[in-house]
Chain A
Amino acid sequence: MTESFAGTYYDGADGAAHAVTLRRVGVSHYALEGEGIRRGGSIAGLRITPRLARVARTIEFPDGARVLVAHDAAIDAWLPRQGRLEAIVDRMERHAQAVAVAIVVCAVSLGVGVFWGVPWLSDRIADAVPPAVERTLGEEVLDNLDHFGLKASTLAADRRDALATRFKKLAHDAGGDDYRVLFRDAPSVGPNAFAVPGGTVVVTDQLVRALGDDREFDAVVAHEIGHQRHRHALRQTLRGSFVAIVAAFFTGDVSSAGAVVVAVPTFLLHSHYSRGFEEEADRYAFDLIARENESPHWFAAAMNALAAKRPERRGHVSYLSSHPSTSDRIASAEAAGQEFAAAHPELCPNGVCPGEEEKDDTCDDCDDEDDESPPTSTENLSCDKPADDDDD
């Protein structure tokens, strides 16, 4: 039988396109004929590009000449088999079920990758990072912070020492003997505390001043110690890097208004990971201060005190935020506080733990700063006398 295929021939020397017929001669030879063109030879020297949708297939001759032909199953049967992998891929692309499977694979791996894959992989890498490296990185971060807005603390030295002692005790009980706390004046940052990689917790003077009771300080630094114990700073960093790398590959591909297409999902993911870490650190803090025989209620008290300084804004969209909403955190802390009271009747007669006595007091001049989600406790620094039970 003779098989022949119509095609366009380019000799590679100039751009002229010649209409030709490629014909099979015997088993292993071809003949190519067109107006003023005639060549033939063994098919062993020919290379053909794999099939791809309606794209013309290119048959290349050893001297660089080419023939473009429309796909024809007979060509694959005749010419030497090449690109077997791509032949399989091509079949999948034309196969409805294979496409359906591919859609499922992509959708599932997107979900799994984002919610489990990236966290899992970054955590494995975090495990492999030696503490010394983490400390070095922490020094760099601290250096950055000191460059951008953090100043030497203006707190009295004995006040700092007293708080540092409380921190050391908590850190020791948490198994972090090498953790340290640093105080910094940061008017532009306001009341805040952060965990720097490698065991350093930075507390702003503004935070210390915003808190009334030292047990509130304990609760806040216990949260930061939770970040340290779980190496959240390093893990978040690695997750962020993975997301950035994946995003870069996609922008390279999408080539349309790259910035927004990538920025929106990156931002949402970052917030998602961060919220998870915050919740974990909160739970850690509840456990740690409960072990110190202090009620997790103090965490709620600290949050309330901070909320008074920096009221949660209205229209807060929790899904867009890097932290769980303050009211949710306070509610969790109060719930943990009640569990604590139930578990320690000796410390908390009638379910009221030390420091909570004034819980039911109403204060008249408290202004309700958040009417959508009222704090579960009315305790509030702005109208509370400084706690008088300064025992340890």
Chain B
Amino acid sequence: MEDIIAAAPPLPPPLPPSWAAGMPGQVGPVRTEHRFEFSGDAKEYFRIWVVNLALSVVTLGIFSAWAKVRSERYFYGNTRLAGEPFEYLAKPLPILKGRLIALVLFGSYVLAGQFSWKLQLGAAGVLALVAPWLLVRGAAFRARYSAWRGINFRFVPDYAEAYVRFLLLLIPTMLSLGLMYPYVKGKQKAFFVEHHRYGGAWFKFRATPSQFYPPYVLAWSVVVACLLAVSFLGGVIAIALIGRNGEPPPEWVALVYVVPIYGTYFVVWAFLAAALSNLVYNHVDLGPHTFRSTLKGHRLLGIYAGNTVAILASAGFLIPWAKIRLARYRAESLAVLAAGDLAAFRAESRADVDATAAEMDGLFDIDIGL
């Protein structure tokens, strides 16, 4: 998921986070701040969501492609920059085709995993081989059908580079026991940002991979410290209980370990997501313009935690509310610092991309830990 956040640079609604502290007032041209505004409404979106979900269910999933388009259009159309809304222009049919292929691929991957680690390893290998291609196609599809002020975004595919950054670089990452992970992450984000353009203008990425180390090192340290503390305390409690009558410890002792560990991951993950998003956005240029992202880890954590509880407690019926809330916070936290006129962008010629990869990308974002 975090990858998707980074995968879509300054695109509309499913908009990524970031944090501004890294770049206090720049010296240079006079800049006008334009904040992203989000005007989506949970009640209004709930009606769209529930009707489209019901239709998808009744049609055994076929309508889900139309549902996706309506949902995306709602979020894009309610996101504004400098008063002008974003537009989502994709058509449902290519998305439907993509969903079917994704279902088959992902279905066989899951099935393989149930029976044998060899089969699953094979399936994972195949996925790893196609993943960079899928990521590129997905980004290209999304960009191609995103527009603002009548000008489309575009992602210019570079498959060779994608395979280097999303496949080859995994080898040194593993050999270094993950120490190279932040570096690779930085290279991957740079890849996505720099291959995007808006009309005739390229996005530029100013952050170096080394800047990805502080957030990761901090996150790792907190996780390790918490694991140590929890193991120690949990062990003490378990031993204390065993001591009594020699009985095995009651089942809830497991919770002493599990709950704090999950809690730690959850908290660290939210703060890390905020820090990385801020890092990425605060180092993106589009022509003379820059971005400022001011996501706060604790606010993001509050939203994620609230969303999780609300979704579980409502058997999923608060998903629309959760999505709106998250989109609003992300939009509010992002601004363009414009140097000059935002209307001065020029268009460029178009290229077509089919939807297959965009959909597979969306489906697999939980499984491919690139």
Contact = CB atoms under 8 A, between A and B. Distances in A.
Interface of A: 8, 10-17, 49, 52-56, 58, 64-66, 68, 85-86, 89, 92-94, 98-99, 101-103, 105-107, 109-110, 113, 137, 140-141, 143-144, 197, 237-238, 240-241, 244-245, 248-258, 260-262, 264-265, 311, 313-317
5 contacts: A14-B343, A89-B66, A141-B115, A144-B117, A248-B367
A256 B51 contact: no
A254 B48 contact: no
A137 B251 contact: no
Contact of A260 (B116, B266, B343): B266
Interface stretch (B161-169, B215-223, B312-320): B312-320
B116 to A, nearest CB: 4
Interface stretch (B203-211, B274-282, B344-352): B344-352
B57 A52 contact: no
A261 B311 contact: yes
A244 B247 CA distance: 37
B115 A254 contact: no
Interface string B75-91: 00110000011010100
Contacts of A261: 307-308, 311-312
Given A49-B73, A240-B114, A99 B250 contact: no
A14 B344 CA distance: 6
Interface string B49-88: 0111111011000000010001001100110000011010
B158 interface: no
B70 A86 contact: yes
B248 A313 contact: yes
A155 to B, nearest CB: 27
A15 B107 contact: no
B115 A52 contact: no
Given A85-B66, A256-B326, A55 B312 contact: no
B contact residues, range: 35 or more
B299 interface: no
B48 A93 contact: yes
B248 A110 contact: no
B351 to A, nearest CB: 14
A103 B50 contact: yes
B150 A89 contact: no
B51 A89 contact: yes
A68 B86 CA distance: 11
A249 B99 CA distance: 10
Contact of B266 (A49, A254, A257, A317): A257
Contact of A17 (B39, B84, B315): B84
A326 to B, nearest CB: 13
Contacts, number: 195
Q: Which one of B77, B150, B312, B315 has the greatest number of beta carbons of chain A within 10 Å?
A: B150
A241 B114 contact: yes
B119 interface: yes
B54 A253 contact: no
A249 B363 contact: yes
A137 B149 contact: no
A254 B251 contact: no
Contacts of A65: 150
A80 B240 CA distance: 78
B110 interface: yes
Nearest to A241: B110
B119 A140 contact: yes
Given A8-B84, A244-B110, A252-B365, 10 more contacts: A15-B346, A53-B48, A55-B85, A105-B57, A143-B116, A245-B103, A248-B366, A254-B323, A255-B4, A257-B266
Contacts of A311: 247-248
Nearest to B119: A140
Contacts of A16: 149, 343
A242 to B, nearest CB: 9
Nearest to A111: B315
Given A11-B150, A13-B347, A254 B111 contact: no
Contacts of B308: 256-257, 260-261
B312 A265 contact: yes
B213 interface: no
Nearest to A100: B50
Contact of A248 (B47, B50, B111, B363): B363
A315 B250 contact: yes
A137 B103 CA distance: 22
Q: Which one of B54, B149, B252, B363 has the greatest number of beta carbons of chain A within 10 Å?
A: B54
Given A89-B52, A241-B114, A260-B266, A17 B73 contact: no
Contacts of B106: 245, 248
Interface in B303-362: 303-305, 307-308, 311-312, 315-317, 319, 322-323, 326, 342-347, 362
Contacts of B73: 49, 52, 55
Given A53-B44, A257-B304, A15 B312 contact: no
B191 interface: no
A22 to B, nearest CB: 15
A237 B114 contact: yes
A105 B56 CA distance: 11
A258 B265 CA distance: 12
Contacts of A238: 111
A86 B66 CA distance: 8
Nearest to A262: B366
A241 B111 contact: yes
A144 B304 contact: no
Contacts of B244: none
A254 B309 CA distance: 13
A258 B304 CA distance: 9
Contacts of A260: 262, 266, 308, 312
A360 B94 CA distance: 73
B50 A106 contact: yes
Interface string B13-46: 0100000000000000000000000010000110
Q: Which one of A98, A103, A250 has the greatest number of beta carbons of chain B within 10 Å?
A: A103
Given A140-B116, A315-B250, A15 B47 contact: no
B239 interface: no
